[in-house]
Amino acid sequence: MHSMDKSIIVIGAGTAGMEAAGQLAKEGFNVTLVEKEQDTGGHVKSWFHLFPDRRDSKEVLAYLNTQICRENITLLTGTTVNNLEKKHDSFVMNTSDGNELKADAVVVTTGFDLFRSERKEEYGYGIYDNVITSADLETMFRKGEVKRANGEIPEKIGIVHCVGSRDEKSGNLYCSKLCCVTAVKQAIELKEMIPAAKIFCFYMDIRMGGALYEEMYREAQENYEINFIRGKVSEISEDINNKLIAKVEDTLVGRPLKIGLDMMVLMAGMEMSETGRKIALSSGLKTGDNRFFSPADHHFGSNKSNLSGVFYAGTCTAPMNITDTISHARAVVSDVIDYLKGKSN
């Protein structure tokens, strides 16, 4: 097989897509990287610092940009893939700008969409000014100021875990995996920015199953005086003084708890992206009960799909952090090479 003769389309230029495109190009393939937005980078663009080492997300973006800076990568931004069809031995895709793209193999890296927190109406996002999401808070961090809608510095801040995750009422039974550690990271950053602030995390379970996550949790207790209250917030309202009131059961005490807050941050979960869903519908790629793409095998084929020649990388298959996304994107390369070798034999 001469990799130079083979072309691969990578759909989505977030972390997974950029890493996969870069690694495939390094192997000599002709790669077309398609991105629906004007810029590459995906969700990482909107984050400030990343867990667990508080690295500036700009460093990750800089790395990913070097990855795709290769002659054999064609980048199409502002372009959406409308459908994906297998014709004989190759794949045909129609894009939003009316073009037809052809490839020998396809890597789907359509990522995730953030759960729209206004869907949990009882939490008042979009109703009360000082209920914000984890993504909104990252934007505030980037600006260097965390303020209430009226410009005041918040001194009592709540954080709700599992918003749109592990929640049958939102239709999402799965754990989004990253929100617990994001909550702890953001709590620490809030405390650093506003040392007088009192911060409360409301959780059902704290899931710290990543490298250095548990240590970060401990650090939050030990060095940042973050308060952890075990209970699912049932509702948030606002009183006459514009203060938020959260209701929760303090399950470890066994009594209902009411708390007034200046600001509440909702840890929005991850959902299958809308673009991914459209591709699934037009191509016959299988999705699971969680609506993410179903890998062919959870142990040995997490990059493979039910269509031979179409592969997955990153959060289009399940919630994943950046470390795992990059590993998954590197792993897809070996499956693509195996597939194309088999084809040329």
Partner 1 sequence: MVDFGFSLLKARQINYDHNDRSIAGYIYEREPSFRLCIECGGCSATCTTGNFTRFSLREINILIKRGENEEVRHEIRKCMLCGKCTLVCPRGVNTRNVITLAKEAFQKRGINAI
Under the rule (CB under 8 A), what is the footprint of partner 1? 122, 162, 166-169, 204-205, 230-235, 247-251, 254-257
CA angle, 284 then 289 then 292, to 5°: 60
Question: Is the CB of 98 or the CB of 254 nearer to partner 1?
Answer: 254
CA distance 311 to 333: 9
3 state DSSP class of 301 = strand
Q: Which is nearer to partner 1, 247 or 330 (CB)?
A: 247
Q: Which residues pair with 6 in a beta bridge?
A: none
State in angstroms the smallest separation of the CB of 130 from partner 1. Answer: 20
CB of 266 to partner 1, least distance (A): 14
Q: How far is the CB of 258 from partner 1 (least distance, A)?
A: 9
Cβ nearer to partner 1, comparing 232 with 278: 232
Give residue 15's identity as a one-letter amino acid code: T
**Rg over CA atoms, the chain:** 22
Residue 164 or 314 having the CB closest to partner 1? 164
Least distance CB 290 / partner 1 (angstroms): 15
The residue among 223 and 237 lying less far from partner 1, judged by its C-beta, is: 237
Least separation, in Å, of the C-beta of 233 and partner 1?
7
Least CB distance from residue 205 to partner 1, whole Å? 7
295 secondary structure, DSSP code: P
Least separation in angstroms between CB 161 and partner 1: 10
Distance CA 199, CA 172 (A): 27
* Cα–Cα dist 152/150, whole Å: 6
Q: Give the relative orientation of helices 15-26 and 322-344 as an angle to the nearest 10 degrees.
A: 40
Please identify, using beta-carbon distances, which residue of 257 and 331 lies nearer to partner 1. 257
Q: What is the DSSP string of 198-210?
A: EEEEEES-----S
Closer to partner 1 by CB, 164 or 309: give it: 164
Minimal distance, residue 197 CB to partner 1, in Å: 24
* Whether 92 contacts 102, CB under 8 Å: yes
Task: Give the containing element (helix H, strand E) for 134.
Answer: helix 134-143
CA 278/CA 291 separation, integer angstroms: 11
Task: Give the 3-state secondary structure of residue 29.
Answer: coil
Instruction: In whole angstroms, give the CA distance from residue 190 to residue 67.
Output: 33
Q: Which is nearer to partner 1, 140 or 163 (CB)?
A: 163
Given a contact cutoff of 8 angstroms between Cβ atoms, the answer to whether 210 and 182 are in contact is no
Which residue has tokens 């991914």?
Answer: 276
